[in-house]
Amino acid sequence: MRISFHTDAFNSAVFSFEKALAWAKANDIHYIEAGLIEGVSWIHGLGYFPHISLSEDPLKVGELLEQYGVQFSQLDAAYPLSGNEGLYYGVPYVLKSLAWAKLVGCPNIATTDGLKKPEEMSVEEAMELMKRAYGTIVEAAERYQITVNIEVHGYFTTNPDLLERMLHFVQSPYFGLNFDTGNSFIAGQDPVAFCRRFLPAIKHVHIKDVSESLAQVMRGKDTGIGISHVAVGEGVNAENIKNILVLLRDHGYTGCLSIECEGQGGPLIERSLRWLRSTFQELNIPEEKE
């Protein structure tokens, strides 16, 4: 399996994207996941933002990645698609992201639903809206030969029965699942059982632990964690993550595991990386670095 990390880890440290790449190189990580924004802002231009703008030249960004020996595992275009705004803003955003990803050589795009059911819609109405959205998106994804993944993150995607229906909106090899160990747990689900059910659809994985204090307050009451403030392996979800790695190993998964946690400028995500690599050794999982 391949180890990646989401540049969310360096939001609070106000890293630039290039500084996140330098951290990756220093820690012998060869895959990275970054958020995508449209346009630019002062915080992005001044180098205080670790994500990527669609206004940037993807070929130039590709050259920068090559300098650091890093590739994209996935680009995060997860504007919620479950409400009316998903059609107006989310679909065009994902479509632009696909073209950008093709030029930079990124194989996956992450998408998702909203944290709550839209008040103005029934579940069935929202599902029908998302079916239309994903139909348009996956048609383009097939043209670009980039996989569009549904991330487990919101009201619909953390419900296994609804997610099952979503994954059947379109039949395509370029449509799959970004499984998230932390969001499935905080939503009150059993992450191991969740992962087992959807193993054939998993194309990318977010490795996220959950602190005991957050679990006590929010488990079963929320559907997603913006960023986890505990190192992977040090929270109440650690044993689940280990069991999920066993499931993935035995299924033959060779894709990316993207670490998601607050990095604290490095120390917290470095502890996460050490735990994951140690667990790889314990479970006899080879780390692919190319």
Q: Where exactly are the structural domains of the chain?
A: 2-282
Confidence of residue 135 (pLDDT cuts 50, 70, 90): very high
For domain 2-282, the question of CATH label 1.10.600.10 is answered with no
- Distance separating alpha carbons of residues 75 and 77, to the nearest angstrom: 6
Does pTM top 0.95 for this prediction?
Answer: yes
Would the pLDDT of 111 be above 90?
yes
Pairing of strands 2-5, 31-37: unpaired
Residue 240's pLDDT is what? 98
Mean pLDDT over residues 38-49, rounded? Answer: 94
Q: Which residues pair with 3 in a beta bridge?
A: 257
Would the pLDDT of 226 be above 90?
no
Would the pLDDT of 260 be above 90?
yes
Would the pLDDT of 138 be above 90?
yes
More confident residue, 224 or 99: 99
Residues 6+ apart with CB under 8 A from 283: 242, 245, 246, 249
Tell me the pLDDT tens digit for each residue of 149-198. 999 999 999 999 999 999 999 999 999 999 999 999 999 999 999 999 99
Confidence of residue 281 (pLDDT cuts 50, 70, 90): very high
- Distance separating alpha carbons of residues 80 and 115, to the nearest angstrom: 8
Angle of CA points 2, 241, 171, to nearest 5°: 65
CA dihedral 126→132→137→141, nearest 10 degrees, is 120
Residue 290's pLDDT is what? 80
Confidence of residue 227 (pLDDT cuts 50, 70, 90): confident
Would the pLDDT of 91 be above 90?
yes
What phi and psi, each to the nearest 5 degrees, are found at residue 234? -115, 5
Would the pLDDT of 72 be above 90?
yes
More confident residue, 136 or 222: 136
